[in-house]
Chain A
Amino acid sequence: MFDINLFALFGQLLIGLINGSFYALLALGLAIIFGLLKVINFSQGALYMLGAFGAWMGLNYLGISYWWALFLVPLAVGAIGILCERFLIRPIANEDHLYSLLLTFGVALVLQGLFTHWYGSSGLPYAIPDELKGGFRLPFMYLPTYRAWIIVVSLAVCLGTWLLIEKTKLGAYLRAGTENPQLMQAFGINVPLIVTLTYGFGVALAGFAGVLAAPVYSVSPEMGSNILIVVFAIVVIGGMGSIGGAIATGLGMGVVEGLTKYFYPEASNTVIFLVMVLVLLTKPAGLFGKEA
């Protein structure tokens, strides 16, 4: 069973990295929202699904190409997120975290139900754009161009976001605003606006990931709930709210999962939770989290 073929192993490692960059992108949105708003956003998966459906609707109803969708759909999803934050989450912002968790979970169920009602449960077709068809023949595997594109663009977005939050003045406001909102407001900074925009940005990332996923995964109402739990585990392993942690853990868990798929496929959707248990037992705040 463990006859290791080095080429095959390289292939699995690369695939792990590709999936990992995808996880990183989704985990990043969750980490930002939790880090700055302290909201555990269960609707992230549904918004990811919305992104994929947005790409499909754009193409089929409005003739919007993949490339425009990549730019426009996250804006639209972000706008929906902003409305959600403003009218649903904010009224309960001072309650226990459980309230916002349940609320976002409810929003996810509603969205999923609506799309099942409108488009059915089987999913919709979405072709890979012509520019990204084909692939490269590496010595150890065939790498589709689209997968290479996923890894490049996800990492670029992750890195950009990390720099924005950790290294710019705007990012400093964001971090300060969550540390001590009263003090920030005393300095004349509009904290509620920052919070709303942050939430919008966080869910826009999910929408972006959804567009990226549309050509390679099944565009179906269930797609978000399938992936969300894994992404949550990744955020927990990385340390709730740690942005760098989410990115690094996303990549790492992609590789761990990829290797599991090679050696013992039956465990591939459990292995991440196993890691989560081990991490929580030894470092309750997560690998990159600060102890509370």
Chain B
Amino acid sequence: MNVMRKTLLISAMVAAGTTAQAANVSDDVVKIGVLGDMSGVYADISGQGSVEAVKMAVEDFGGTVLGKKIEVVHADDQNKPDVGSVIARKWVEEENVDVINGAVASSVTGAVTKFMSSKEKITLIAASASHAFTTKACSPFNAHWTYDVVSLANGTVKPMVQSGKKKWFFVTADYAFGHALEKVATGVISNNGGEVVGGVRAPLGTTDFSSYILQAQSSGADVIALANAGTDMVNALKTAAEFGVTDMVDVAGLLVFTPNAQALDPAVAGGMKLTTGFYWDMDDQTREWSKRYMARMDGKIPAMPHAGAYSSTMHYLKAVEAAGTDESKAVMAKMKEMPVEDFFSRNGYLRKDGRMVHDMLQVRIKNADERRDGNDIFAIEQIIPGKDAFLKLEEGGCKFALES
């Protein structure tokens, strides 16, 4: 099929005298590549769910834009930066992919965005946490959608410090993501009059956290912050509950996705507060979309990256239509001009540096007696306005955005 398309393309180019037709949509199709972890540790927060979410956006948009077909392709980046960038290169150079939606692991996203920017193509980042993509590694072609480490720290840490929990202890995943989260959260703590009394760096994939939990307990901290994710976070929290720590001090999970919360017994996780960019059961709008998603995903509820994947794709397609072309710079200009208002994004807009600023949610994990069923996991405590949740443009240090 690939060969056929190439042959067609070449013959078309020859026929047109090697210059592409004045058509506004390159090669007569708008092609979206969904890159994600399809089978590894992040499969539940991206993977097939993101592919379905993007397909839903395309279907809801009508399947065509500017009279041209919209196509969705997907691939497994295996959480490896080299694999991710090879796929991106193949997509862009050989298969005429116009935009990539995805990559989860921040390392993969870093590699992919760098490549895409060099080709002047847009990356919609719906699942990654690092705030680098809109600060020191920012690019005019990045759109960082769902959340980032700064909004997590602001949403979860700030209110706790302000309510008098001054002493913090970190259990940090010992790699780039954990370090970044710890650094940002530490900044929030000290800016609000709190202090960090200790911390441990636990290797990724640690099974037993009891040693670290004991150290945290004897540190005299008011709060144990878990600057880790996924299975690490689940294991650490389980251990904290088992050792009776959760009865005495607060445990704050800095990055908790809905599937992680579902992997925890309510007796263990009930009451914990956290920040999320989206919750499926927030209101009628979110429920309507989530029910359609669940019908396609064997009843699994969407995690925030899935909703972000839909929202970012929809906004991209609207921008293509408004710009009348799929040329990246024109589309990005429209994306930054139009407000982002849908079931996912409230009061949202795409800022100059590529940060999609929207309201975040502070939620509490429900106890067993509050839950209707297995999907009823969060109670919304507070809505954090986008301007308070995310880093300010001036603080981020994104060069092109500050100069323009």
Question: How many angstroms from the CA of A128 to the CA of B41 in the assembled complex?
Answer: 24
Question: How many angstroms from the CA of A222 to the CA of B211 in the assembled complex?
Answer: 21
Q: Is the C-beta of B359 less than 8 angstroms from some C-beta in chain A?
A: no
Given known pairs A122-B259, A123-B263, A146-B242, the reply for A8 and B215 (CB within 8 Å) is yes
Q: By the criterion CB–CB under 8 Å, are A144 and B234 in contact?
A: no
Q: By the criterion CB–CB under 8 Å, are B238 and A217 in contact?
A: yes
* A residues 157-189 touching B (CB-CB < 8 Å): none
B residues near A218, Cβ cutoff 8 Å? 231, 234-235, 238, 263
Q: By the criterion CB–CB under 8 Å, are B262 and A121 in contact?
A: no
Chain B's nearest CB lies how many Å from the CB of A129? 12
Q: Is the C-beta of A291 less than 8 angstroms from some C-beta in chain B?
A: no
Chain B's nearest CB lies how many Å from the CB of A264? 10
Chain A's nearest CB lies how many Å from the CB of B85? 23
Q: Is the C-beta of B370 less than 8 angstroms from some C-beta in chain A?
A: no
Query: Which one of A124, A128, A141, A258 contacts B242 once the chains associate, using CB atoms below 8 Å?
Result: A128
Question: How many angstroms from the CA of A12 to the CA of B266 in the assembled complex?
Answer: 28
Q: By the criterion CB–CB under 8 Å, are B207 and A223 in contact?
A: yes
Q: Is the C-beta of A284 less than 8 angstroms from some C-beta in chain B?
A: no
Q: By the criterion CB–CB under 8 Å, are B263 and A220 in contact?
A: yes
Q: Contact string, A243-272, partner B, CB cutoff 8 A, digits 1/0?
A: 000000000000000100110011011100
Q: By the criterion CB–CB under 8 Å, are B207 and A226 in contact?
A: yes
Q: By the criterion CB–CB under 8 Å, are B238 and A147 in contact?
A: no
Chain A's nearest CB lies how many Å from the CB of B368? 10
Question: How many angstroms from the CA of A117 to the CA of B44 in the assembled complex?
Answer: 10
B residues near A7, Cβ cutoff 8 Å? 218
Q: Which residue of A lies closest to B239 (CB)?
A: A216
A residues near B264, Cβ cutoff 8 Å? 125
Question: How many angstroms from the CA of A226 to the CA of B204 in the assembled complex?
Answer: 10
A residues near B260, Cβ cutoff 8 Å? 122-123
Inter-chain contact count A-B, CB under 8 Å?
A: 118
Chain B's nearest CB lies how many Å from the CB of A122? 4
- Which size bracket describes the interface of A in this complex? 35 or more
Q: By the criterion CB–CB under 8 Å, are A122 and B239 in contact?
A: no
Question: How many angstroms from the CA of A128 to the CA of B239 in the assembled complex?
Answer: 11
Q: Identify which of A15, A19, A116, A125 gathers the most chain B CB atoms within 10 Å of its CB.
A: A125
Q: Which residue of A lies closest to B303 (CB)?
A: A122
* B residues 252-275 touching A (CB-CB < 8 Å): 257, 259-260, 262-268
Q: Which residue of A lies closest to B38 (CB)?
A: A116
Q: Is the C-beta of B289 less than 8 angstroms from some C-beta in chain A?
A: no
Q: Identify which of A15, A122, A125, A266 gathers the most chain B CB atoms within 10 Å of its CB.
A: A122
Query: Which one of A120, A219, A269 contacts B259 once the chains associate, using CB atoms below 8 Å?
Result: A120
Chain B's nearest CB lies how many Å from the CB of A66? 13
Query: Which one of A5, A135, A146, A269 contacts B206 once the chains associate, using CB atoms below 8 Å?
Result: A269
Tally of B interface residues using CB under 8 Å: 42
Q: Is the C-beta of A58 less than 8 angstroms from some C-beta in chain B?
A: no
Question: How many angstroms from the CA of A16 to the CA of B206 in the assembled complex?
Answer: 14
Q: By the criterion CB–CB under 8 Å, are B208 and A226 in contact?
A: no
Q: Contact string, B196-224, partner A, CB cutoff 8 A, digits 1/0?
A: 00001111011110111011001000000
Q: Contact string, A128-155, partner B, CB cutoff 8 A, digits 1/0?
A: 1000000100000110101100000000
Q: By the criterion CB–CB under 8 Å, are A216 and B238 in contact?
A: yes
Q: Is the C-beta of A81 less than 8 angstroms from some C-beta in chain B?
A: no
Query: Which one of B205, B231, B243, B259 contacts A142 once the chains associate, using CB atoms below 8 Å?
Result: B243
Q: Is the C-beta of B174 less than 8 angstroms from some C-beta in chain A?
A: yes
Q: By the criterion CB–CB under 8 Å, are A266 and B203 in contact?
A: yes
Q: Is the C-beta of A35 less than 8 angstroms from some C-beta in chain B?
A: no
Chain A's nearest CB lies how many Å from the CB of B151? 22
* A residues 82-114 touching B (CB-CB < 8 Å): 113
Q: By the criterion CB–CB under 8 Å, are B235 and A122 in contact?
A: no
Question: How many angstroms from the CA of A116 to the CA of B38 in the assembled complex?
Answer: 10
Query: Which one of A121, A127, A144 contacts B243 once the chains associate, using CB atoms below 8 Å?
Result: A144
Q: Is the C-beta of A40 less than 8 angstroms from some C-beta in chain B?
A: no
Q: Identify which of B211, B244, B268 gathers the most chain A CB atoms within 10 Å of its CB.
A: B211
Query: Which one of A19, A117, A261 contacts B212 once the chains associate, using CB atoms below 8 Å?
Result: A261
Q: Is the C-beta of B343 less than 8 angstroms from some C-beta in chain A?
A: no
Q: Is the C-beta of A11 less than 8 angstroms from some C-beta in chain B?
A: yes
Q: Is the C-beta of B300 less than 8 angstroms from some C-beta in chain A?
A: yes
Q: By the criterion CB–CB under 8 Å, are A141 and B214 in contact?
A: yes
Given known pairs A122-B257, A265-B202, A269-B205, the reply for A220 and B214 (CB within 8 Å) is no
B residues near A5, Cβ cutoff 8 Å? 218
Chain A's nearest CB lies how many Å from the CB of B334? 36
Given known pairs A116-B39, A141-B214, A220-B231, the reply for A265 and B208 (CB within 8 Å) is no
Given known pairs A8-B218, A265-B202, the reply for A217 and B235 (CB within 8 Å) is yes
Chain B's nearest CB lies how many Å from the CB of A232? 15
Question: How many angstroms from the CA of A217 to the CA of B263 in the assembled complex?
Answer: 11
B residues near A266, Cβ cutoff 8 Å? 174, 201, 203
Question: How many angstroms from the CA of A223 to the CA of B238 in the assembled complex?
Answer: 14
Query: Which one of A16, A117, A122, A135 contacts B244 once the chains associate, using CB atoms below 8 Å?
Result: A135
- 19 CB contacts below 8 A, A to B, read A7-B218, A8-B218, A12-B214, A15-B208, A15-B211, A15-B214, A122-B262, A125-B262, A125-B265, A135-B243, A144-B243, A217-B208, A217-B235, A218-B234, A220-B231, A223-B231, A258-B211, A265-B202, A268-B203
Nearest first, the 8 closest Cβ-Cβ pairs linking A and B are: A122-B259, A261-B211, A123-B263, A218-B234, A269-B203, A125-B265, A120-B44, A121-B43
Measured CB to CB, the residues of B under 8 A from A are 39-45, 174, 200-203, 205-208, 210-212, 214-215, 218, 230-231, 234-235, 238-239, 242-244, 257, 259-260, 262-268, 300
Known: A121-B43, A223-B231, A269-B206. 5 other contacts (CB 8 A): A5-B218, A15-B214, A125-B264, A217-B207, A262-B215
